[in-house]
Amino acid sequence: MGTIGSHQPNHVIPAYYAAKGALATMGVSLAKELSNTGITVNTVSPGLILTDELEAAYRVAAARKGWPEDWESIERKIVESDFPNPCGRIARREEVADLVVFLCSERADFINGQNIRIDGGAVRYV
């Protein structure tokens, strides 16, 4: 598991982003090392994922910033200020898990050596 920070590192905790960048690079190297073995190696790089911890932290931040108290409104504010993306929301854990399960399936046998973002389109480059 990676992070979109391997594509666009943040200024906070630079060592974390350096490690995630190295993880993505290692995935590509491992894919080459395991050529012709039938083993595929990919990195899944999500943006923000709605977890209990993320929600709790943003509820505290929302109270400090004077945002509304309901989660739907808080999530809109997060997308406006911290995590802009065309989907207009934060990923759910199940969505990320579904991608991982797909990549582990035979239907994904030709996907190899990739750093796949699941970020609602937040990282903008071709």
pLDDT above 90 for 11: no
pLDDT score for 23? 95
pLDDT tens digits for range 81-109: 999 999 999 999 999 999 999 999 999 99
Name the residue with tokens 């190899």: 112
Point out the residues that are catalytic. Answer: 16
Query: What is the residue type of 84?
Result: P
pLDDT above 90 for 124: no
Q: Which CATH class is domain 4-48+83-118?
A: alpha beta
Round to whole Å and give the CA distance between 124 and 126: 7
pLDDT tens digits for range 54-82: 999 999 999 999 999 999 999 999 999 99
Name the nearest CA neighbour of 71 among 97, 45, 51, 98: 51
Tell me the pLDDT of the chain averaged across its residues.
96
